[in-house]
Amino acid sequence: MLDVAAVPQSLSGLTMGTTWSAKLILPAGTVPETLGAGIQRQLDLVVRQMSTWSDDSDLSRFNQAQANTWHEIPVEFFRVLDCALTVAQATGGAYDPSVGPLVNLWGFGPDARGQQTPAAQELAVAQSRCGWQRIRLDRVRCRVWQAGGIYLDFSSIAKGFAVDLAVDYLRAAGIPSYLVEVGGELRGYGVKPDQQPWWVGIEQPLSVQGGAATTADAVHSVVALHGLALATSGDYRRYFEHAGKYYSHTIDPRSAAPIAHPLAAVTVLHPECMVADVWATALMVLGPEEGMRCAQERGLAALFLARDGSGFSESMTPALRAMLT
Protein backbone atom coordinates (compact mmCIF):
# COMPACT_ATOMS: atom_id res chain seq x y z
CA MET A 1 0.00 0.00 0.00
CA LEU A 2 1.37 3.39 -0.98
CA ASP A 3 2.15 5.76 1.90
CA VAL A 4 -0.60 8.37 2.07
CA ALA A 5 2.09 10.94 2.88
CA ALA A 6 3.97 10.19 -0.34
CA VAL A 7 4.73 13.29 -2.38
CA PRO A 8 4.67 13.48 -6.23
CA GLN A 9 7.83 14.96 -7.69
CA SER A 10 9.23 15.56 -11.18
CA LEU A 11 12.93 15.67 -12.04
CA SER A 12 14.70 16.22 -15.35
CA GLY A 13 18.07 16.84 -16.97
CA LEU A 14 20.25 16.35 -20.01
CA THR A 15 22.15 13.28 -21.20
CA MET A 16 23.33 11.57 -24.40
CA GLY A 17 22.39 14.53 -26.57
CA THR A 18 18.80 14.36 -25.37
CA THR A 19 16.76 14.80 -22.18
CA TRP A 20 15.80 12.63 -19.26
CA SER A 21 12.89 12.88 -16.85
CA ALA A 22 11.60 11.05 -13.82
CA LYS A 23 8.20 11.20 -12.17
CA LEU A 24 8.43 9.92 -8.62
CA ILE A 25 6.19 9.29 -5.66
CA LEU A 26 8.48 10.07 -2.76
CA PRO A 27 8.12 8.99 0.86
CA ALA A 28 7.83 11.94 3.24
CA GLY A 29 11.22 13.43 4.07
CA THR A 30 12.95 12.34 0.86
CA VAL A 31 15.13 15.02 -0.73
CA PRO A 32 14.34 15.25 -4.47
CA GLU A 33 17.63 16.96 -5.33
CA THR A 34 19.58 14.03 -3.92
CA LEU A 35 17.67 11.61 -6.12
CA GLY A 36 18.12 13.83 -9.16
CA ALA A 37 21.87 13.89 -8.64
CA GLY A 38 21.88 10.12 -8.18
CA ILE A 39 19.99 9.54 -11.42
CA GLN A 40 22.37 11.87 -13.25
CA ARG A 41 25.33 9.85 -11.96
CA GLN A 42 23.89 6.68 -13.47
CA LEU A 43 23.38 8.37 -16.82
CA ASP A 44 26.86 9.92 -16.73
CA LEU A 45 28.28 6.44 -16.16
CA VAL A 46 26.67 5.23 -19.38
CA VAL A 47 28.08 8.17 -21.31
CA ARG A 48 31.53 7.66 -19.79
CA GLN A 49 31.56 4.01 -20.78
CA MET A 50 29.53 3.79 -23.99
CA SER A 51 29.51 7.07 -25.90
CA THR A 52 30.82 7.07 -29.47
CA TRP A 53 30.81 10.88 -29.34
CA SER A 54 33.50 11.00 -26.63
CA ASP A 55 37.05 9.94 -27.49
CA ASP A 56 37.64 9.19 -23.80
CA SER A 57 34.83 6.66 -23.34
CA ASP A 58 35.63 3.00 -22.79
CA LEU A 59 33.80 2.17 -25.99
CA SER A 60 35.79 4.70 -28.06
CA ARG A 61 39.06 3.44 -26.66
CA PHE A 62 38.08 -0.08 -27.67
CA ASN A 63 37.06 1.10 -31.15
CA GLN A 64 40.46 2.75 -31.60
CA ALA A 65 42.49 -0.16 -30.21
CA GLN A 66 45.01 -2.20 -32.14
CA ALA A 67 43.98 -5.43 -33.83
CA ASN A 68 44.28 -8.79 -32.10
CA THR A 69 44.16 -7.43 -28.54
CA TRP A 70 42.07 -8.20 -25.46
CA HIS A 71 40.51 -5.33 -23.48
CA GLU A 72 39.07 -5.40 -19.97
CA ILE A 73 35.83 -3.44 -19.88
CA PRO A 74 33.50 -2.32 -17.07
CA VAL A 75 30.78 -4.74 -16.06
CA GLU A 76 28.03 -2.43 -17.37
CA PHE A 77 29.71 -2.20 -20.78
CA PHE A 78 30.03 -5.99 -20.81
CA ARG A 79 26.36 -6.45 -19.93
CA VAL A 80 25.20 -4.23 -22.80
CA LEU A 81 27.53 -5.85 -25.32
CA ASP A 82 26.45 -9.32 -24.20
CA CYS A 83 22.80 -8.42 -24.72
CA ALA A 84 23.53 -6.86 -28.11
CA LEU A 85 25.40 -9.97 -29.30
CA THR A 86 22.54 -12.19 -28.13
CA VAL A 87 20.09 -10.25 -30.30
CA ALA A 88 22.56 -10.21 -33.20
CA GLN A 89 22.73 -14.00 -33.12
CA ALA A 90 18.95 -14.34 -32.75
CA THR A 91 18.34 -12.15 -35.81
CA GLY A 92 21.06 -13.61 -38.03
CA GLY A 93 22.90 -10.29 -38.02
CA ALA A 94 19.94 -8.06 -38.89
CA TYR A 95 20.91 -6.35 -35.67
CA ASP A 96 24.66 -5.87 -35.24
CA PRO A 97 26.39 -3.72 -32.58
CA SER A 98 29.43 -3.45 -34.89
CA VAL A 99 27.45 -1.51 -37.51
CA GLY A 100 29.24 1.73 -36.53
CA PRO A 101 31.33 2.12 -39.71
CA LEU A 102 28.15 2.05 -41.82
CA VAL A 103 26.35 4.44 -39.47
CA ASN A 104 29.20 6.91 -39.85
CA LEU A 105 29.42 6.47 -43.62
CA TRP A 106 25.73 7.25 -44.05
CA GLY A 107 26.12 10.42 -41.98
CA PHE A 108 24.48 9.45 -38.69
CA GLY A 109 27.49 9.02 -36.38
CA PRO A 110 30.21 11.11 -34.73
CA ASP A 111 32.70 10.39 -37.51
CA ALA A 112 30.18 11.28 -40.17
CA ARG A 113 31.25 13.04 -43.35
CA GLY A 114 27.83 14.61 -43.88
CA GLN A 115 24.55 13.07 -44.90
CA GLN A 116 24.96 11.76 -48.43
CA THR A 117 24.73 8.49 -50.32
CA PRO A 118 28.08 6.66 -50.24
CA ALA A 119 29.77 5.09 -53.24
CA ALA A 120 29.61 1.31 -53.64
CA GLN A 121 33.33 0.90 -52.92
CA GLU A 122 33.04 2.93 -49.70
CA LEU A 123 30.12 0.77 -48.59
CA ALA A 124 32.05 -2.41 -49.27
CA VAL A 125 35.02 -1.22 -47.21
CA ALA A 126 32.80 -0.15 -44.28
CA GLN A 127 30.80 -3.36 -44.39
CA SER A 128 34.01 -5.42 -44.28
CA ARG A 129 34.73 -3.92 -40.85
CA CYS A 130 31.36 -5.05 -39.50
CA GLY A 131 30.46 -8.48 -38.22
CA TRP A 132 29.23 -9.43 -34.76
CA GLN A 133 30.74 -12.91 -35.21
CA ARG A 134 34.23 -11.34 -35.00
CA ILE A 135 33.60 -10.17 -31.43
CA ARG A 136 34.77 -12.54 -28.71
CA LEU A 137 33.93 -12.25 -25.01
CA ASP A 138 35.92 -13.51 -22.03
CA ARG A 139 33.27 -13.84 -19.34
CA VAL A 140 35.72 -14.82 -16.61
CA ARG A 141 37.92 -11.71 -16.96
CA CYS A 142 35.22 -9.40 -18.38
CA ARG A 143 37.19 -8.81 -21.57
CA VAL A 144 36.38 -8.28 -25.24
CA TRP A 145 38.56 -9.11 -28.26
CA GLN A 146 39.38 -6.40 -30.81
CA ALA A 147 39.84 -8.36 -34.01
CA GLY A 148 40.79 -5.24 -35.96
CA GLY A 149 38.62 -2.43 -37.26
CA ILE A 150 35.64 -3.32 -35.06
CA TYR A 151 33.67 -0.17 -34.25
CA LEU A 152 30.89 -0.72 -31.74
CA ASP A 153 27.83 1.54 -31.75
CA PHE A 154 25.42 1.30 -28.80
CA SER A 155 23.03 4.06 -29.92
CA SER A 156 20.22 1.50 -30.24
CA ILE A 157 20.61 0.08 -26.74
CA ALA A 158 22.42 2.55 -24.44
CA LYS A 159 19.42 4.76 -23.65
CA GLY A 160 17.39 1.74 -22.62
CA PHE A 161 20.20 0.52 -20.41
CA ALA A 162 20.50 4.00 -18.89
CA VAL A 163 16.82 3.82 -17.93
CA ASP A 164 17.45 0.47 -16.25
CA LEU A 165 20.42 1.84 -14.29
CA ALA A 166 18.34 4.79 -13.09
CA VAL A 167 15.57 2.40 -12.03
CA ASP A 168 18.07 0.21 -10.14
CA TYR A 169 19.23 3.32 -8.29
CA LEU A 170 15.67 4.35 -7.38
CA ARG A 171 14.87 0.85 -6.16
CA ALA A 172 17.95 0.84 -3.95
CA ALA A 173 16.87 4.23 -2.60
CA GLY A 174 13.52 2.76 -1.58
CA ILE A 175 11.35 4.76 -3.99
CA PRO A 176 8.00 2.92 -4.24
CA SER A 177 6.68 4.34 -7.51
CA TYR A 178 8.35 5.95 -10.52
CA LEU A 179 8.30 6.57 -14.27
CA VAL A 180 11.76 7.10 -15.78
CA GLU A 181 12.35 8.32 -19.34
CA VAL A 182 15.53 8.84 -21.37
CA GLY A 183 15.18 10.07 -24.94
CA GLY A 184 11.70 8.60 -25.28
CA GLU A 185 12.45 5.19 -23.74
CA LEU A 186 10.46 4.57 -20.55
CA ARG A 187 10.15 2.25 -17.60
CA GLY A 188 7.63 2.45 -14.78
CA TYR A 189 6.71 0.79 -11.55
CA GLY A 190 4.11 1.19 -8.82
CA VAL A 191 1.03 3.37 -8.58
CA LYS A 192 0.30 7.03 -7.96
CA PRO A 193 -1.55 8.38 -4.90
CA ASP A 194 -4.85 7.89 -6.79
CA GLN A 195 -3.94 4.18 -7.06
CA GLN A 196 -3.59 4.47 -10.84
CA PRO A 197 -0.52 3.04 -12.59
CA TRP A 198 1.73 5.10 -14.85
CA TRP A 199 -0.21 5.31 -18.11
CA VAL A 200 1.82 6.24 -21.20
CA GLY A 201 0.95 6.67 -24.86
CA ILE A 202 2.59 4.77 -27.71
CA GLU A 203 3.68 7.43 -30.17
CA GLN A 204 2.53 7.37 -33.77
CA PRO A 205 3.89 9.31 -36.75
CA LEU A 206 1.56 12.09 -37.82
CA SER A 207 1.84 11.62 -41.58
CA VAL A 208 3.88 10.30 -44.46
CA GLN A 209 5.78 12.62 -46.78
CA GLY A 210 7.75 11.31 -49.74
CA GLY A 211 7.91 7.82 -48.28
CA ALA A 212 9.21 8.85 -44.83
CA ALA A 213 7.12 9.32 -41.72
CA THR A 214 7.13 12.76 -40.10
CA THR A 215 7.24 13.74 -36.42
CA ALA A 216 5.63 11.49 -33.84
CA ASP A 217 3.49 13.69 -31.65
CA ALA A 218 0.29 11.67 -31.93
CA VAL A 219 -0.69 9.07 -29.33
CA HIS A 220 -1.69 5.71 -30.73
CA SER A 221 -2.48 3.47 -27.72
CA VAL A 222 -2.18 3.85 -23.97
CA VAL A 223 -0.52 1.20 -21.80
CA ALA A 224 0.19 0.88 -18.09
CA LEU A 225 3.88 0.65 -17.22
CA HIS A 226 3.70 -1.28 -13.97
CA GLY A 227 6.89 -3.28 -13.93
CA LEU A 228 7.30 -2.73 -17.67
CA ALA A 229 9.47 -0.70 -20.04
CA LEU A 230 8.57 0.69 -23.45
CA ALA A 231 10.88 1.56 -26.34
CA THR A 232 10.16 2.69 -29.89
CA SER A 233 12.30 2.64 -33.03
CA GLY A 234 11.04 4.76 -35.92
CA ASP A 235 12.30 6.09 -39.22
CA TYR A 236 10.83 9.52 -38.41
CA ARG A 237 13.33 10.20 -35.63
CA ARG A 238 16.37 10.80 -37.84
CA TYR A 239 16.66 10.75 -41.60
CA PHE A 240 17.87 12.80 -44.53
CA GLU A 241 16.62 13.43 -48.05
CA HIS A 242 18.73 13.13 -51.19
CA ALA A 243 17.53 13.33 -54.80
CA GLY A 244 13.94 13.05 -53.67
CA LYS A 245 14.50 9.92 -51.57
CA TYR A 246 14.40 9.57 -47.81
CA TYR A 247 17.11 7.67 -45.95
CA SER A 248 16.46 6.42 -42.41
CA HIS A 249 19.13 6.42 -39.70
CA THR A 250 18.37 2.74 -39.10
CA ILE A 251 20.95 0.77 -41.07
CA ASP A 252 20.53 -2.82 -42.17
CA PRO A 253 24.02 -4.32 -41.80
CA ARG A 254 23.12 -7.09 -44.23
CA SER A 255 22.56 -4.66 -47.12
CA ALA A 256 24.91 -1.92 -45.80
CA ALA A 257 22.11 0.59 -46.42
CA PRO A 258 19.24 2.27 -44.57
CA ILE A 259 16.13 0.15 -44.24
CA ALA A 260 13.83 0.30 -47.27
CA HIS A 261 10.54 -1.35 -46.33
CA PRO A 262 7.07 -0.08 -45.29
CA LEU A 263 7.67 -0.10 -41.53
CA ALA A 264 7.54 3.36 -39.97
CA ALA A 265 7.88 2.35 -36.31
CA VAL A 266 8.13 -0.60 -33.94
CA THR A 267 7.33 -0.40 -30.22
CA VAL A 268 8.34 -3.14 -27.79
CA LEU A 269 7.28 -3.65 -24.16
CA HIS A 270 9.49 -5.71 -21.84
CA PRO A 271 10.41 -5.74 -18.13
CA GLU A 272 13.90 -4.43 -19.04
CA CYS A 273 14.23 -1.21 -21.03
CA MET A 274 17.56 -2.32 -22.50
CA VAL A 275 15.89 -5.38 -23.99
CA ALA A 276 12.90 -3.38 -25.26
CA ASP A 277 15.26 -0.83 -26.82
CA VAL A 278 17.46 -3.29 -28.68
CA TRP A 279 14.58 -5.42 -29.90
CA ALA A 280 12.66 -2.39 -31.20
CA THR A 281 15.62 -1.64 -33.47
CA ALA A 282 16.13 -5.28 -34.45
CA LEU A 283 12.50 -5.73 -35.44
CA MET A 284 12.59 -2.43 -37.32
CA VAL A 285 15.49 -3.74 -39.41
CA LEU A 286 13.82 -7.09 -40.03
CA GLY A 287 10.71 -5.44 -41.47
CA PRO A 288 6.99 -6.14 -41.16
CA GLU A 289 6.82 -9.84 -42.10
CA GLU A 290 10.15 -11.17 -40.83
CA GLY A 291 10.00 -8.92 -37.79
CA MET A 292 6.53 -10.12 -36.84
CA ARG A 293 7.57 -13.76 -37.16
CA CYS A 294 10.65 -13.16 -35.03
CA ALA A 295 8.66 -11.32 -32.34
CA GLN A 296 6.00 -14.03 -32.18
CA GLU A 297 8.59 -16.81 -31.93
CA ARG A 298 10.17 -15.07 -28.94
CA GLY A 299 6.95 -14.02 -27.25
CA LEU A 300 7.75 -10.32 -27.54
CA ALA A 301 5.06 -7.72 -26.94
CA ALA A 302 5.44 -5.56 -30.06
CA LEU A 303 3.42 -3.12 -32.15
CA PHE A 304 4.28 -2.61 -35.83
CA LEU A 305 3.18 0.52 -37.70
CA ALA A 306 3.56 0.36 -41.48
CA ARG A 307 2.94 2.92 -44.19
CA ASP A 308 -0.36 2.35 -45.93
CA GLY A 309 -0.92 4.90 -48.67
CA SER A 310 -1.22 8.27 -46.95
CA GLY A 311 -1.56 6.78 -43.49
CA PHE A 312 -0.54 3.79 -41.38
CA SER A 313 -1.68 0.26 -40.70
CA GLU A 314 -0.94 -1.56 -37.47
CA SER A 315 -0.28 -5.09 -36.38
CA MET A 316 0.57 -6.40 -32.95
CA THR A 317 1.87 -9.63 -31.51
CA PRO A 318 -0.35 -11.86 -29.36
CA ALA A 319 1.76 -10.94 -26.31
CA LEU A 320 0.98 -7.24 -26.74
CA ARG A 321 -2.67 -7.88 -27.51
CA ALA A 322 -2.96 -9.80 -24.25
CA MET A 323 -1.59 -6.75 -22.37
CA LEU A 324 -4.19 -4.45 -23.91
CA THR A 325 -7.21 -6.63 -23.16
Domain ranges of the chain: 1-52+155-190, 58-146, 198-325
Cβ atoms of 164 and 273 within 8 Å: the answer is yes
According to the model, what pLDDT value does residue 212 have?
Answer: 47
Cβ atoms of 236 and 224 within 8 Å: the answer is no
Cβ atoms of 154 and 122 within 8 Å: the answer is no
Per-residue pLDDT of the chain (325 residues; tens, 9 = 90+): 455 457 789 999 999 999 999 999 998 889 999 999 999 999 999 999 999 999 999 999 999 999 999 999 999 999 999 999 999 999 999 999 999 999 999 888 886 566 678 899 999 999 999 999 999 999 999 999 999 999 999 999 999 999 999 999 999 999 999 999 999 999 999 999 999 999 998 876 655 444 444 444 455 578 999 999 999 998 766 666 655 566 688 999 999 999 989 899 999 999 999 999 999 999 999 999 999 999 999 999 999 999 887 788 999 999 999 988 6
User: Which CATH number is correct for 1-52+155-190, 3.20.20.220, 3.40.50.720, 2.60.40.1080, 3.10.520.10?
Assistant: 3.10.520.10
What are the backbone angles phi and psi of residue 81, rounded to the nearest 5°? -65, -40
According to the model, what pLDDT value does residue 1 have?
Answer: 47
Instruction: Please name the CATH architecture into which domain 58-146 falls.
Output: Orthogonal Bundle (1.10)
Element (H, E) at 275: helix 273-286
Q: Do domains 1-52+155-190 and 198-325 have the same CATH topology?
A: yes
Instruction: Please name the CATH architecture into which domain 198-325 falls.
Output: Roll (3.10)
According to the model, what pLDDT value does residue 240 have?
Answer: 62
Angstrom distances, CA of residue 221 to CA of 18, 23, 199, 316, 323: 24, 20, 10, 12, 12
According to the model, what pLDDT value does residue 239 have?
Answer: 60
- List of residues 6+ apart from 209 with CB closer than 8 A: none
